[in-house]
Structure 1
Amino acid sequence: MMDIFAGLFLCQCLVLTLAATGCPNIHECQCTFSLIDCSGRNLTSVPRFMPSDTVYQTLRLDHNRLTYVPNNSFFGIKVSDILLNDNIISSVDHGAFYGVEDRLNELDMSINKLHYLPSSVGTLNHVRNLDISDNPIDQTAFVAGEDVLRRVGDTLYEFSFGHDIVYEWPHILRHLVALKTLNVLGGSFKTLPPGAFHGFEGTLLNLRIENTKLIALPVALSRLIYLQRLNFDHNHNIGDAGILVPAFSSTIMRYLTDLTLKDNSLTVFPNILKYLQQVRKLSLEGNKLDIIGDNSIQIIESSNVEDLSLRNCSLNRVPGAISRMRNLHILDLSANYIRSFERNDFTNMSWITNLTVTDNPLDYISPDAFNGVHNLMYLNLQGTMLREMPNAIENTPTLRDIILPSDQIMCTCDLAWLRRYMDRYGQQLHVQGTCETIISEIRNYLTNFIPMCPNYAG
């Protein structure tokens, strides 16, 4: 009998605990210290929440089958962020966020079926981050929702939108006077007006424009006084002719340090770098450059880029012109067609510290390939065709990490030179990879087997 009473008491305590934490039906959601997680549960309606004084950071309702967010959906709970992305929501009531309008900082409604800007967004008094990207909201709907953006314009720091159905730039963005980050994630417009960023030209720090039909870099960029990061990617109609110098002004864009121009149908190194002396990180990933020719040398010499990605650029050798980039420390040559590192491929690259060459058909590295590369600390050769440990690393006394292909490297006593190299420099070289000839991690082989080899004298 006592066991029955104890069980009933435990059940009552559990119910009271759930009520106190504000967790909805335990079959639909799980609660942790800062999270109410109702994501990926095939829900077709917003769960009913019990009133709670517990403060949560995030409510996740993403990756469900919600179609409608009714009034008072979140009344009684205290959350800062609500994620409604990856549903099929087409309707949101005006009072949907009643009860959280003074607390909500982030609202993600991306990847849904909304055809309009929900008026309920305009009731959020302190929203900082709003994502409505990948919803079929066209130009007419943007105009109709002007009052919504006007109401949140003083508090919104980050805004994301974009869909193929957007054929014109939404001028109502001018109400976002506090905006620091703008993500344009799709659009069928071919040009932007000169005043596209009016209203936040002096506040915007980060800009992402991708998957549009733009035919050139917008001249409006030159008005972004304090822009620090520009991601202009996957705009396939750009091409070399679309990289317009007037879009960048050396007297205005003094703070731009990160620039990505991925997958924009480029074939040559962009000449705008001559005018962007503050850029330190550059990615040209996904452009079919084939080769960086002599006409690029002047551009490269004048740049101050420290981190360069030429991933998936159809390169069949290490571009010699890169040796002119005197400030370069990090180089990514992954996913190209490079088959060998020859003796002079890295000449005059003593400043390189990180080299990534993954997913290339690389099967040969000259023993002298890294002559003079005295500062190399990280070398990633994963996904290459190498069968032997490259002797070239003997010329890299600062190397700390080397990542090799899995189950391809021949582990024999011939690797005694590598153990001696590690002993000579007294360093903890971390070797990642597995042997082909024995079931062992390469590092374990070097530690446990090489000392027993007759050609090793420790």
Structure 2
Amino acid sequence: DIIGGNFRNAIKFGNPFANLQTEELILKDMNIVSIPDPAFLPLKLVLKKLDLSNNFLTTLPLALKELDVLESLDVSNNVIDDKNFTEIVLRKLGATLTSFTFGSLDINNWPNTLKHLQMLQNLNVTKAAIRFMPQDAFYGFSGTLLTLSLENTALNSVPLAVARLTFLQSFNFDHNENVGDYGMNVPLLRGMMNYLTNISFQDDSLKTFPSALQAFANLKSVSMDENMLEFVSDNAATSVRQIENLSMRNSSISRIPQALADLTSLKSIDLSDNRIHSIDIEDVRILHSVKEIKLNNNPILYISNHAFDSTENLERLELKNTNLKQVPCALKFAIENLTRVKNVFPLTVDLSENKIECTCELKWLSDTLYAHRNNINWTVLGNCETIVSSIDSYLKSVTLGDCPTSTICNS
């Protein structure tokens, strides 16, 4: 037993890993203050992944230098300051470590001993009091790093050092509240970082899309969640014209931005957790290439009957927890238009967490789905409010089959 206090006693009076052979060891949340130098000797040639997060370590333990094949190390949420990223440890781990996670508000400066991690592919900084990063911050692994996460820092701008990460594929720069739009004005030349496909700028106090994004020709996915994107200008949207996936959750948006019409490659849009009250014909017509639309957790009161007529590629529509009481008639006309341009297609509509009234008035949807049964592989998710049944089961029920034809969605 190496859990909690038993582990601390074992490590104090003996060797808790004497009979252990494992590639992965999780020692998080165990109030560990220190680790004796020989503690990991029995795991010297086998341990590849070690999690020491959420403890009370004040330095990188010297015991780590005994691990010859360690590939992943997590020491986040300890009390290790920037002067205690032990050089002898990182120099030894540099030959094998490919993933490193750390984070503490005691870190005021970038640890320069990270330069020894010359095999590093994934670097995750969960929090730090850093206000500035030197341009050579990633020296030693600028040619190997593939994913970078810098979260909960005191940085005022995107570090210029990021531009030196030649093969970076994914960059998460989230919860850096001091940044704002000005901090995104990073001088980047088009053609740099050609491998970058995913960027996340969540909760960075942004009010628009950073123009710097236009430098990344191969960018596919952008997350701008938890910002203040009440208005998205046409000029701002052109900076991400090439992307396929866009998320703007919880960003104070009250209407689907018309500027998205410039995103002709867009396949997935997530506008959940905003303030969207209505969906008109012109709101969605611009999303002609989109396969997936997520509008969950919006206070939607009105959906135009023909809102989704132009979404010729639609495969998934999410309207979870949106105050809807009836299945929107827009679904009828969307299905009819989809069958005109496609022979066979899948369609999932998620109405979960709504108070959908399952009555004879839903006969129109049952009839529509039956009429196009050879064209559409459909799924309707969610439960009825008025009876104990899923919407899917009700649409197939004998009870609904006996209902008169519904004209509620005639146009």
Alignment of 1:274-293 (within 5 A): 274-293=214-233
Aligned partners of 1:369 and 1:392 also within 8 Å:
yes
* TM-score normalized by the length of structure 1: 0.83
Count of matched residue positions in the alignment of Structure 1 and Structure 2: 394
Residue 425 of structure 1: how far off its partner (Å) = 2.2
Q: Alignment partner for residue 396 of structure 2, among 436, 447, 451? A: 447
2:151 aligned residue (207, 210, 213): 210
**Greater shift in the superposed pair: 431-440 or 206-215:** 431-440
* Equivalent position to 1:269, from 194, 209, 226: 209
- Residues of 2 paired with 1:132 and 1:179: CA distance? 15
Q: 1:407 to 1:297 in 2, by over 3 A?
A: closer
Relative to structure 1, is the Cα distance of residues 256 and 363 closer, same or farther in structure 2, using a 3 angstrom cutoff? Answer: same
- Cα deviation for residue 455 of structure 1 reads 1.4
Report the identity percentage: 36
* 1:112 corresponds to which of 40, 43, 55: 55
**SS at the partner of 1:186?**
strand
1:140 corresponds to which of 83, 86, 100: 83
Structure 2: state its 5+ residue gaps. 339-344
User: Which position in structure 1 is the counterpart of 2:265?
Assistant: 327
Match of 1:434, SS state, is coil
Residue 200 (1) aligns with residue 141 (2): yes
Distance 1:163 1:335, change over 3 A: same
The farther-off stretch of 252-261 and 392-401 is 392-401
The answer for the alignment partner of 2:27 in structure 1 is 84
Change in 2 beyond 3 A, CA 1:293/1:106: same
Change (3 A) 1:73 1:260: same
Query: Which structure: larger Rg?
Result: 1
Q: Return the letter of the residue paired with 1:259.
A: I
Partner of 1:299: 239
Q: For residue 78 of structure 1, report the CA deviation from its aligned partner.
A: 1.1
Superposition pairs of residues 424-435 of structure 1, within 5 angstroms: 424-426=371-373, 427-435=376-384
Q: State the secondary structure of the residue aligned to 2:119.
A: coil
Kindly provide the amino acid, as one letter, of the partner of residue 359 in structure 1. N
Query: CA 1:150–1:67 in structure 2 vs 1: closer, same or farther (change >3 Å)?
Result: farther
Structure 1 gaps, min length 5: 1-27, 29-37, 47-65
SS in 2 for 1:96: coil
Distance 1:212 1:454 in 2: 62
Partner residue of 1:352 out of 290, 293, 298: 290
| Residue type at the aligned position of 2:41 | Y
CA distances 1:145-194 after superposition (whole Å, capped 9, x unpaired): 10000011010000011100100000000000000000011111111000
Q: CA deviation at 1:67?
A: 8.0
SS in 2 for 1:82: strand
Structure 2 Cα separation of the partners of residues 114 and 203 of structure 1: 28
- Measured in 2, the distance between the counterparts of 1:69 and 1:220 equals 40
Letter in 2 for 1:421: T
CA gap of 1:68–1:354, structure 2 versus 1, over 3 A, is: farther
Maintained 8 Å contact 2:58/2:80: yes
Q: Which amino acid aligns with 2:211?
A: N
> Contact between 1:154 and 1:177, CA under 8 Å: does it hold in 2?
yes
Matches within 5 A, 1:17-96: 28=1, 43-46=4-7, 66=8, 69-70=11-12, 72-96=15-39
The CA deviation string for residues 1-57 of structure 1, in whole angstroms up to 9 with x for no partner, is: xxxxxxxxxxxxxxxxxxxxxxxxxxx5xxxxxxxxx66xxx3122xxxxxxxxxxx
| Alpha-carbon contact 1:73-1:97 (below 8 Å) kept | no
- Structure 1 residue 252: Cα displacement: 2.7
Structure 2 CA distance for aligned equivalents of residues 307 and 298 of structure 1 = 14
Question: For residues 402 and 199 of structure 1, what CA distance do their matches in structure 2 show?
Answer: 49
Other-structure match for 2:341: none
Q: 1:45 to 1:249 in 2, by over 3 A?
A: farther
Aligned ranges for residues 114-193 of structure 1 at < 5 Å?
Answer: 114-142=57-85, 145-193=86-134
3-state secondary structure, aligned to 2:369: helix
Map Cα deviations across residues 87-118 of structure 1 (whole Å, 9 max, x no partner). Answer: 21101000111211110000100111000110
The code of the aligned residue for 1:245 comes to V
Q: Give me the whole-angstrom Cα distance separating, in 2, the residues matched to 1:117 and 1:249.
A: 38
Asked if structure 2 preserves the Cα contact closer than 8 Å seen for 1:386 and 1:405, the reply is no
* Residue pair 2:209, 2:237 contacting (<8 A) in 1 also: no
**Would the alpha carbon gap of residues 421 and 167 (structure 1) be closer, same or farther in structure 2, given more than 3 Å must change?**
same
Q: Is the 8 A contact 1:365 1:390 kept in 2?
A: yes
Q: Which moved more, 1:254-263 or 1:366-375?
A: 366-375
Larger deviation, residues 71-80 vs 104-113: 71-80
Equivalent residue of 2:283, what SS? Answer: coil
Distance 1:446 1:362 in 2: 23
Q: 2:363·2:404 contact (CA, 8 Å) conserved in 1?
A: no
Q: Distance in 2 between matches of 1:391 and 1:84?
A: 54
Q: 8 Å contact 2:307–2:330 — kept in the other structure?
A: yes
1:431 and 1:223 mapped to 2: Cα distance?
A: 47
Change (3 A) 1:251 1:295: closer
Contact 2:258 2:286 in 1 (8 A): no
Over aligned residues, Cα RMSD in angstroms? 1.7
Question: Residue 135 of structure 2 aligns to a residue in which SS?
Answer: coil
Give CA-to-partner distance per residue, 1:229-254, whole Å, 9 cap, x none: 001100010000001332x4433300
Which has the higher relative contact order, 1 or 2, with Cα contacts under 8 A spaced 6 or more apart? Answer: 2
Instruction: Give distance in 2, aligned partners of 1:67 and 1:153.
Output: 31
Please, which of 356, 366, 379 is the counterpart of residue 409 of structure 1?
Answer: 356
Matched, 1:372 2:310: yes
Amino acid at match of 1:209: L
Residue-by-residue CA offset, 1:277-329 (whole Å, 9 max, x unaligned): 111011000001111123324324xx211010000010001111112100001
8 Å CA contact retained: 2:324, 2:354? no
Query: Among residues 198, 220, 228, which one is paired with 2:161 in the alignment?
Result: 220
Question: Who is 2:365 aligned against?
Answer: 418
Residue identity matched to 1:234? H
User: How far apart, in 2, do the equivalents of 1:245 and 1:424 lie?
Assistant: 55
**CA contact 1:186–1:211 (8 Å) conserved in 2:** yes
